[in-house]
Every structure is written in structure tokens, then in C-alpha cells.
Structure 1
């Protein structure tokens, strides 16, 4: 069925499956029939939906996937589904769907011998993937493009496509695609009879496959390595590799690769001049080909059958198979297979004493041999030229990177010099400041009121700096992001649907801004005006419950449950608004640093005249260094870290909690173990006029 996705001769079957993996990343847990039936069922259910939209991306992806499953079953069905996917993708401007459809259509075009059209489809798919900067789709277009160029004898162009794909796969650490493409390059060198280079590449592929941990990929490479060993007449190694592959393919029912492996095993026995055994394995492969639309692989298999029958002196069967292979080779422009068929038919007719017919086949054989020989010479030169050009490009890129690094080093040293100058200036300023302080010491002693005023001004400046820092770093960013999204919507740079996709992120930013503003307002009042504490009696259990409800959605987003085990009717004497801020901040922090699917517990116990509230999480915990800084009076900076889902905080909450707990005559402290979680404690009086 497939044409240009398959490399002729010894590497035909591998490429069929390589494209399957590249296209859908499917494994062989189920047979192809099961996959096709499953995909068809999903498609039927989708089309029966009342809200069915043919241009829906899910629908287009299903059409492409089903079309791909028909690669080796029915070429007309492949065209039907892929063409439909292309039309719908074009109407809905779905570029990914268009790319996948073009790859499928190129398969159909190559099968029908329209190689130029197939190349154009693949180049169009690659350029479109390049336009949208989709690295995986670039590889999916480049790999079959290289295979098709190889198939029609343009080995230099094939290598060029492979090298581009290898560069992308290497940059993106895409081991799966890197394995496939490196194997294709190994096949290319094998066709040039550079067996050592080919074998070394196969070993690299095997190492990658072991990293991937997939026995099917390893079996695929092993079957190709076995074929290489057959050509080297190392039949002992060939048997080890091909037998291990056959076991996997039979177990997984991967008939494409199994047919190829049977053929390789037949080739092994044929090279050992054991045609009866070779014929046994060729017949097994031919039986599998009855359900595979893979004429290119079949052409090679028919030639192998013909050669086996010829060695058994069964010239009738030998001629029938050679003629059948020649028909396929002529139709699909398979020069190597056609050459082999004409050679066999020459030998057969010579044995049958049909000199005129034998001479005709011999003449065609010589013409094809000369043509292939010239093409091989050109290909060898082309491959060498392509390799040298690619290596030159890589060296040029390396030199460019080195220039960039050198420029960066210059900037780095300039920055160091600037820092040194700045440090010197700071040192001189500090020295001057110290002298000024000594000079003013006597004056400050005489004017206590002025000293007090200076302290107040310093406090106000510190508050101002902290406020500007928080506003600049933690409010301006989300607000600018929100403004940017709204401007994009206003200027029609994004659609309403795309704007809705930003909605969850925008809501989270707005919630974070709101939470930060509430803390800023509360903290600003305490710092700048000395917020008044108005104590009253209230039930702390109810206050905890209200805060849990308030933060429930945030916790739900991380699949975190919060349990309130504080005693019912636990009345305390404190400022309810300030304690509300304390509980909300501690719960918010617990959610922020808890692992998804964990639990947060809030409980309270009576200790003398105070109620001790504990909020326990099972999160990232804190190192001893961070623990020392959390409530340290010596630490004037705000300790900020990121949560388990990369949530950003201001570091203001805990400072605010400490001030408000202290305002109400209580204490706040924390215990924590790294990677085990933290417990924050604070105490509040049970009745009026109680302090610690």
C-alpha cells in the first residue's frame, strides 16, 4: 500500500512502521484491526453527537488517524479520510491538521507513482510546520521526505532531510524520533555499501532504544542489523538478531515487521545456498503480504522467491515470481527491483533455451545496471557534498556561538568593573556617613525628640520601600499581563475563544492581586497609623470554617482537602478582623506549599488562659536556614518563595500575622521538616485582660 514512506530492498518494512510511530505515537499493544475498529467507533460516536461540528479539531485528528491506519490495508480509504481531513482543516485554518493530511496524501501520491507530487506535499507540510514553529511536525514531514528521496534515488537530498530532522530531534531531546531518523541514515550508508559506518549508526540506535525501554523499537533495529549481517555474510550474528526480532513481532502481532523479518531470514538461508529453507520463510512472508498493501516490499520478496525457485530448478515458479516483481517495479519505478527481475528472467530464459527472450531481458538488465551505477556514483558524491556542507554549517554555527559567548564575556567583565567602581563609591559613602554620624552623635543626645522623629521617618521610608517593592514586583506584573490580554482582545489580536482560554489564568492573577492588596492595606495601617486593636469575644471554630470556605476553590484546584477539628464554641478574646487575617494568610500559605492531593488540618487546644491554634500541612516544609528567618526580628527583608504549583507570594503575610498576633497578646511560631510539611501555631487569649 505505502510507496514513498518505504525504502526499497532491505529497508522497506522498517519505514512503514517508523511513520506510524512518528504520526500517532501508537504502541503495538493491540493489533491494527483493533486500533482501526476503536478509532472508527469513536468517530461514529462523535458524528452522532447533537452538537457535532465537522470542523472540530478532534474530528479532523480522528480522520487523519483512521486514514493512517489504512496505509497497509486500503489505499483508496486512506485517500478518502485524509482528503476529507485536509478540506476541513483548510476551512477551519487548522494548520496541524493540514500538515498531517498532507503527509497522508503524499503517501497516496507516491503509491500511485506520482513522486513529484508526493515531494511537493511533504515540502509544503514541512514549510507549514516551520511557519508555526512545531518541531515535532517538522520531523514528521522531513523523515518521509528523506525516505521518498531515497526511494527515487536522490540520496543527497535524502541525507539533507535526515540531517535537518536529526538536528531538530537533538535540540529538543526527542529520543524516539532521533532513533528512527538515525536508523534511516544507517540504511542510507548501507545502500552505499559503507557497512562499518552503517553498523556503528545501528549501534547508536540500539543504545537510544534501550533508553526508551521499548522492546518493539529494539526488535525493529535488530531486524535491520540482521539484514546488514546477512550482507556481510556473518550468518551467526544475523541469526541471533533476526530470531530475537521474530519472537517480539509474533508476540505483538506486528505483521508489517514480521513479514520483513521472515524475508530477512529467508535471505540468510538463500545466501547460505539452502534454498528450501529460504523458500519456507519467503512463503510465510508472502502469506502476510496478502493483507498488506505494500507493493514495494512485495517486489523484493517476489524476486527473492524467484531466486530460491531458480536454485531449486523450478523455472516455472521462478519466472512467474520474477515477472510479478517486474510488473510492480516498472509501475513504481523501482530501479533496483526491476534490475534484479530482468537479471533473473535472463537467467531463467537462458536455462529454458529461449535465447531471443533471454537477450531482451539481458539488454534491459544492462541498461538498468548502467543507469543505477551512474546514479550510485552521483549519489556518493552528493552524499559526501551534503555531509561536508552540513559539517561546515555546524562549524559556522559553532563559531557564531563562540563569538556570542566572547561578546557576553566582555559584557560580564565590564559589569564586574562597574560593580567594583560601585562598591568603591559605596565604601566612600559609608565612610563619609560614619564620620557624619560621629559628628552628629552629640547633637542627637541633646535632642531626643529629633532622634525619635528621625526613627519615625526611617520607619516610614522602610514601609514605603517595602510597599513599592511589593507593588512593583507582585502587583504590576499580573496587572500588566491582564492589561496586555485585554488590549489584545480589544485590537482583535486574539479571538473571544482564545480570550476565554486565558480566563482561568486571569482569575488566578486577580485573586492573587486581591489577596495581596488586602494584606497591603492591613499591614499599611499597622505600620503607618498604628492600627487599633478592638478585642471582642468570638467563636474561632466559625472563623476557621468561614476562611476554609473562602479558600476552598484554591484548594480544590490543587485537589487539597482542609479539615477543621477545632472545638465547637471555642470562644476567644481578640480582634476578630486581625485574627481573621492571620487565619486566612496561614491557610493560604498551607495551600500554596502543600503537595497536590494532600490534607491540611486545623485544630486548637487550650493551654492555660490561652487557646493554641495549629495549622498543619503536608507540603515542602522548610530548611533550618529558612525556619530561622521566618519570624526573626533581626530579619528586615521579606522571605518569599514559590509554591508547589509555582505560586508567587510577597512574603508579607507572615510578617503581618506576627504583628497582629502580638497586637492581641499572643505568640506565633512554627515547626517544620523539609519535604514533610510545616505546623504554624499561634495563641489568642480566652478572656479579657490576659497577655503573654
Structure 2
């Protein structure tokens, strides 16, 4: 595997052959991490061959396996690779989203090396969109981390990118200073791919200064290294820079040779940006030669490719991400302010009651005054209406309180007391350590039940007290289902219930991911609860224009019409025990209904006694998919 990966710059065929050999060996001994790394190598191979869909597929398999086996370093590396594939394809929105997810994951794992890499890659994305302030901001974050880590090679890479940025800003002195440091480090450590890139950037520096002969010299140094490396993609930018420098020296024939080679490589790798820039150079060369008809052909091709990249639309998407971050910060401030407001409102209630008593007293005193009677009577009617509304709200709050106490008293208190009593017996020596350990599986069941109930109570409480807001994002439904199937796998195993997830990875919804997670977990938990041993649960989806219709079907005990009507009633709880006497709070299905409708969908059930139940719900499609 290591030998294969080292060949990524020198011989792609060797990379492919050795990786497949390693994959076969890994499968023969069920070496799980080995398989995950092999899929990453295959993704690298297909990426460099310009087969980006195959690259994404293999990187995704590697990422899933890395997460499953807690191989955090590989998990972060695959996230970075997936984001880079989106960037290569010109889909900056998905690229940025994936880079940001990777950045948050690296922060949670305290992996500062990966955190610096994600910051640098986000900066590179903004640099391509000429957003220099954002690019410099993220490059600076990466540089600070790498300085603290004391890794000169990584720091040299950051400096090289900062030099690239400063060339675009025409700050040539700053760029040259950063480049010289980077070149020294890359030479000393024989980092050939970055050395070739640094030479290319130095060529660009002199090209921007119109010092074409010097630019050609540096591009030639870069070209010499690229000839040693089997990496066609990174050559494209160097070839175009060389072409532009030669055109500046009026060496049109040689300039054409480099531009045409860049065009062929871009088409081979389906690299749209490379094809666009090649068409631009070929237009300029033919125009300089007086071949206007050919020049016009390349200019039209350049414009078409430029439009297809939709850089402006991607730029808008990035601005939306920035606005979203600002909104989240403002939201936190709003929540704090709202909590203060709620505290004030409580005091206002008492003040309002005092005002009401005062108004009633005034009304009694001025009843003798006929002239003001009608006006005061009208005020009294308004106050009575407010009192009725308050009474209605108090009744609803009381109902919510009773429901909460019922759940806490019956569904949480029982397991907790049992747990508490068992610990007391153990501490008193009434039961031995061996006997106590024998109770551990049962205790785990209690704790799992308490955790599930508390999670539902949290979301239900938010809907009842403060109301819920949605934060819709693009979600791969398959991933959410897989996570929850894994979470509930122990319950399924105990009852020997098989779960089939038939949903493909291309089903992407635009909904609140946390809400969807709660819905899926409750529906799966219910299916397991009411399905007898050796039963089956199947999950699938259907395309309904702007919606996905998801179903979770079981071979359980089913329901009659009265039960179906009760479970969707949000005004009260309805709970029954499962096939193994499993208890529930009665919140799950009504909570699912509120969350699905909050995200613009619908939920319903089809069921027959002793045959099974099929729960259906709809979700809006991803905006990208619907477009």
C-alpha cells in the first residue's frame, strides 16, 4: 500500500496494480483498515486519471470504513480528498461545505495538522474566486497552527500559497520573500511536487511583472521536474504560464505548442477550467498571428466554458456560507437576549395582574358615571378576552406539565430507582461483584431506554415550550439511516431482526439533519419494538417530483384503525408495550409528525393487524438535485 501511494507522482499504473494486489491480500485476511486505505489509493488513481465520479465513490467508501473503525487520521484525509474532487469539478459549494465539515471534525478530534490543512484548502478556494481577504484570513490561520506545530515543510507550503495570493495582489516583494523560504525547504527535503509548483509560481511572478525571459527560465525549471512526475493535472497551469510568457516574447509558434498541450491534457482529464484557460491562450495566439477566424472559434469556446463553470453562482454560494456563519453568531446573541426577555416577562405577569385589579377597581368606582360607562366597559371586555387567552395558555401549560411528570414518573423514575437500589445492595454487600456484573446487561438496557427517552423529551420540550426552528441543509439520507441502524443494531440482534437499507447514496434531502435523525431513530426503534423475533425491517424510497418518499416497513404485530388515529394525536400520549414488553413514552410518533411537517413534509402509516406496519414520510429534495 505504501509503495503504491509513493508511486502516485511517478507511475500511476504501478499505483493501480499494487493497490489492487494489496486490496486482495487485505480481503483475504479481513484486514479492515488495509481495505480502507486501498480504497483511498484507488480514489487517488481515478482522480489523477480525471475519472472524478469513480474517485468520489472510492474516497467515500474509504471514509465510511475509516469512521466505522475509528481510523481518525484516514477519516480526515478522505474528507479532504472528497472536497478536493468537488473543487476540481468546479462545484465550489459542495467543496466548501465538505472542507468546513472536515475543519469542524479536525477541531473536535484536536488534530491540528489536519485543521491547518483544511484552513489552507478553504483559503485556496477563496483565492480562486478572487476573495483575497477571506483567502488571507484562512491562510493566516493555517500558518499560525503550522508555526506552533514546528513543521517547516507544512509551513513552506503555506508560504508558497501566500506568495501566490500576493502575486495576484501585485505585492511582488512579499511574494518573493515567501517563495524564497519555500524553495529552500523544498530543495533541502526533495519535495518534488511542491518544488515544481514553487518554480511555477516564481515564473508567474515575473510574468506578472512582464519580465518574460526570466519567467520562461523559472517555468523551465518547473517543467523539468514535472517530466519526472507522472502527474498530468498539475502540469496544465505550468504549460499555460509558459505559453503566456513565450507569447510575450513573440515566440508564437512555441507558445502555441505549450497551449495546445495544455488543451489536450485538460480534455483528457475533463478539467473544465484548464480547457477554458487553454482556449483563452489559443485565442490570443491566433489573434496575434492574424488568424482571426480561428481566434474567434477559440474565443467562443472560451466564453462557453467560462459560463459552464458558473463561477459567479459559486461565488454567491460562498457568500451565503459566510452569511450563514454570521447568522449563527447573531442567533446565539439573540438566544441570550431572548432568555433575558423571558425573565422580564415573568415579572410583567405580576405587574399585569396588579394593573388588572386596579382597572377593575376603577371600573367599580366610575360605574355611576354614565358618560364613561361605555368606554370603560369596552376596556373590561378586552381584559376579559386577554384573561381567557391566558387561561387557555395556562391549561395547555398544565397539560404539558402533567404529561412531563407522567413520563418522568413512570418511564424514567422506574429504571433509575432500580439502578439505584441495585447499587445500594452492592455497596452494602448484599450481592456479590459477580452477581452485580450479571445485572450489567439489564442495566445497559435501562440506561439506553433512559437516554432514548431523554432525547425525545428534549426535542418534544422544545416544540412545546419555545417552538422549533429549522436549519435545513443537504443530507445524504442513506448516511443518516446507516448511523441509526448501527446505533440500534444491538436491539435488532437481540431479537434476530434483519434490517435492509435499500436507499441509495444519491438520495439527498434538503431538511434539518438533526430533525431527520430524530425521526429515523424513532421510526426504527418502533419497528424493532413491535416486530417479533426473526422478523424483518426494510427501508426504501421513491421519487415524487420535488420530494423523496421514504418508507420503513416491518413484519410486526400491526395496528388497527383506532390505534393509528391515536398515535398521531399531538394533544395526548398513546403508548403500548412491544413484543418483548418494551415500554415507551408515547411521544415518538407525534414528535415525528411535528418534525416532518416543520420541514415541509408529510407522514402517514399503512398497517394491518398481525401483518405489519409501513410508515411513510416525505422530504424536500436537495436544491442541487431539484435543479
TM-score bracket, normalised by the shorter chain, equals: 0.5 to 0.7
Q: Show the counterpart of 2:64.
A: 127
CA distance in 1 between partners of 2:63 and 2:324 (Å): 21
Query: What CA deviation, in whole Å up to 9, does each residue of 1:411-454 have, x standing for no partner?
Result: xxxxxxxxxxxxxxxxxxxxxxxxxxxxxxxxxxxxxxxxxxxx
CA distance in 1 between partners of 2:314 and 2:430 (Å): 62
Instruction: Note closer, same or farther for the CA distance 1:397–1:196 as it changes in structure 2 (3 Å cut).
Output: closer
- Could you tell me whether the CA contact under 8 Å between 1:135 and 1:168 is conserved in 2? no
Q: Show the counterpart of 1:173.
A: 110
Instruction: Note closer, same or farther for the CA distance 1:478–1:291 as it changes in structure 2 (3 Å cut).
Output: farther
Q: Show the counterpart of 1:499.
A: none
Query: What CA deviation, in whole Å up to 9, does each residue of 1:112-133 have, x standing for no partner?
Result: 2211111121222222223334
After superposition, the CA RMSD in angstroms is 3.2
Classify the secondary structure of the residue corresponding to 1:98: helix
CA distance in 2 between partners of 1:136 and 1:69 (Å): 18
Instruction: Note closer, same or farther for the CA distance 1:326–1:89 as it changes in structure 2 (3 Å cut).
Output: same
CA distance in 2 between partners of 1:323 and 1:151 (Å): 21
Q: Show the counterpart of 1:297.
A: 234
Residue 74 (1) aligns with residue 26 (2): no
Which residue of 53, 70, 88 corresponds with 2:25?
88
1:36-47 aligned at under 5 Å gives the runs none
Q: Show the counterpart of 1:654.
A: none
Instruction: Note closer, same or farther for the CA distance 1:479–1:92 as it changes in structure 2 (3 Å cut).
Output: farther
Instruction: Note closer, same or farther for the CA distance 1:185–1:354 as it changes in structure 2 (3 Å cut).
Output: same
Classify the secondary structure of the residue corresponding to 1:71: helix
Q: Show the counterpart of 1:49.
A: none
TM-score where L is the length of structure 1? 0.48
Residue 98 (1) aligns with residue 18 (2): no
Q: Please report how far the alpha carbon of residue 166 of structure 1 lies from its aligned counterpart in structure 2 after TM superposition.
A: 0.8
Residue 383 (1) aligns with residue 318 (2): yes
1:344-355 aligned at under 5 Å gives the runs 344-355=281-292
Q: Show the counterpart of 1:213.
A: 150
- Could you tell me whether the CA contact under 8 Å between 2:202 and 2:215 is conserved in 1? yes
Residue 107 (1) aligns with residue 63 (2): no
Residue 186 (1) aligns with residue 115 (2): no
CA distance in 2 between partners of 1:161 and 1:75 (Å): 27
Query: What CA deviation, in whole Å up to 9, does each residue of 1:38-82 have, x standing for no partner?
Result: xxxxxxxxxxxxxxxxxxxxxxxxx2x111101101001111111
Q: Show the counterpart of 1:150.
A: 87
Instruction: Note closer, same or farther for the CA distance 1:392–1:351 as it changes in structure 2 (3 Å cut).
Output: closer
Residue 160 (1) aligns with residue 111 (2): no
Q: Show the counterpart of 1:336.
A: 273
Instruction: Note closer, same or farther for the CA distance 1:469–1:73 as it changes in structure 2 (3 Å cut).
Output: same
Q: Show the counterpart of 1:280.
A: 217
Total equivalences in the alignment: 356
TM-score where L is the length of structure 2? 0.53
CA distance in 2 between partners of 1:159 and 1:348 (Å): 35
Which residue of 241, 246, 271 corresponds with 2:178?
241
1:412-491 aligned at under 5 Å gives the runs 476=433, 480=437
Q: Show the counterpart of 2:140.
A: 203
Classify the secondary structure of the residue corresponding to 1:70: helix
- Could you tell me whether the CA contact under 8 Å between 2:50 and 2:271 is conserved in 1? no
CA distance in 2 between partners of 1:252 and 1:161 (Å): 31
Which residue of 264, 269, 276 corresponds with 1:327?
264
Q: Please report how far the alpha carbon of residue 389 of structure 1 lies from its aligned counterpart in structure 2 after TM superposition.
A: 5.6
Q: Please report how far the alpha carbon of residue 402 of structure 1 lies from its aligned counterpart in structure 2 after TM superposition.
A: 14
1:492-511 aligned at under 5 Å gives the runs none
Q: Please report how far the alpha carbon of residue 472 of structure 1 lies from its aligned counterpart in structure 2 after TM superposition.
A: 10
Q: Show the counterpart of 2:249.
A: 312
CA distance in 2 between partners of 1:480 and 1:212 (Å): 45
Q: Show the counterpart of 1:553.
A: none
Structure 2's unaligned 5+ residue stretches are: 339-425, 442-489, 491-627
1:537-548 aligned at under 5 Å gives the runs none
Q: Please report how far the alpha carbon of residue 254 of structure 1 lies from its aligned counterpart in structure 2 after TM superposition.
A: 1.1
1:454-603 aligned at under 5 Å gives the runs 476=433, 480=437
- Could you tell me whether the CA contact under 8 Å between 1:138 and 1:165 is conserved in 2? no
Q: Please report how far the alpha carbon of residue 222 of structure 1 lies from its aligned counterpart in structure 2 after TM superposition.
A: 0.3
Query: What CA deviation, in whole Å up to 9, does each residue of 1:61-104 have, x standing for no partner?
Result: xx2x1111011010011111112222333343332222211111
Instruction: Note closer, same or farther for the CA distance 1:396–1:270 as it changes in structure 2 (3 Å cut).
Output: same
Instruction: Note closer, same or farther for the CA distance 1:480–1:399 as it changes in structure 2 (3 Å cut).
Output: farther
- Could you tell me whether the CA contact under 8 Å between 1:75 and 1:293 is conserved in 2? yes
Which residue of 270, 280, 305 corresponds with 1:368?
305
Structure 1's unaligned 5+ residue stretches are: 1-62, 404-467, 485-492, 494-692
Q: Please report how far the alpha carbon of residue 213 of structure 1 lies from its aligned counterpart in structure 2 after TM superposition.
A: 0.5
Residue 261 (1) aligns with residue 198 (2): yes
Structure label with greater radius of gyration = 1
Instruction: Note closer, same or farther for the CA distance 1:69–1:393 as it changes in structure 2 (3 Å cut).
Output: farther
Which residue of 41, 47, 53 corresponds with 1:116?
53
Query: What CA deviation, in whole Å up to 9, does each residue of 1:383-420 have, x standing for no partner?
Result: 334455677789999999999xxxxxxxxxxxxxxxxx
Classify the secondary structure of the residue corresponding to 1:193: coil
Q: Please report how far the alpha carbon of residue 233 of structure 1 lies from its aligned counterpart in structure 2 after TM superposition.
A: 0.4
Which residue of 167, 173, 183 corresponds with 1:230?
167
- Could you tell me whether the CA contact under 8 Å between 2:22 and 2:38 is conserved in 1? yes
Query: What CA deviation, in whole Å up to 9, does each residue of 1:534-565 have, x standing for no partner?
Result: xxxxxxxxxxxxxxxxxxxxxxxxxxxxxxxx
Instruction: Note closer, same or farther for the CA distance 1:88–1:471 as it changes in structure 2 (3 Å cut).
Output: farther
Instruction: Note closer, same or farther for the CA distance 1:89–1:401 as it changes in structure 2 (3 Å cut).
Output: farther
Q: Show the counterpart of 2:495.
A: none
CA distance in 2 between partners of 1:146 and 1:390 (Å): 19
